[in-house]
Amino acid sequence: MTTPISSIALVTFGSFIGSFSSLGFKAGSKRLERNLRSVYTNWPLAAGIAGYLLSSVFFILGLKSGELSILFPMVSSGYIWTMIWARVFFHEPFTRGKFAGLALILVGCVLLGLGTRQPG
């Protein structure tokens, strides 16, 4: 079994959407207090959960035809988007360590992509 490009595209698109949901979680976590009201009136948190669910729909559609051992690690491509949004919206600095980490993740995703074309 090999993994079609369409599955890889669905999973990476899902990760792209998922990276927005982590923005919602982060913004929502700042509004959390020790009462239930801060949970159910927390629109960033609700948006984060909705984004998370939407991204898992794309992940599941991608999984339909494709290898789990390729598609699950591909989800890590979402970290790249997350870092960009964290910089834009929360002014979290880019550091050398973060760049090195993302470069390794990118290399890993490319290797996985090559790995789908190789027979075992």
Partner 1 sequence: MAITTIPPPPDSVILGKVSVTASTPGQKRRSLLMILVFTLLSSAAQVLLKFGTVQLKLHPSLLGLLTNFPLLGGMALYGIGAALMVLALRHGELSVLYPLISLSYVWVAILSVAVFGEVMNPFKIGGICAIMAGVGVLGLGSHK
Q: Which residues bind partner 1 (CB under 8 A)?
A: 1, 52, 56, 59-61, 63-64, 67-70, 72-73, 76, 79, 95-115, 118-120
Closer residue to partner 1 in complex, CB, 44/101: 101
In whole angstroms, give the CA distance from residue 68 to residue 60: 11
CB 57 within 8 A of CB 29: no
Give CA–CA dist 55/94, Å, rounded: 25
Toward partner 1, which CB reaches closer, 52 or 85? 52
* Cα(3)–Cα(7) distance, integer angstroms: 7
Q: What is the nearest approach in angstroms of partner 1 to the Cβ of residue 100?
A: 5
Q: How far is the CB of 30 from partner 1 (least distance, A)?
A: 10
Task: Compute the distance between CA of residue 17 and CA of residue 52 in angstroms, rounded to an integer.
Answer: 8
CB of 15 to partner 1, least distance (A): 12
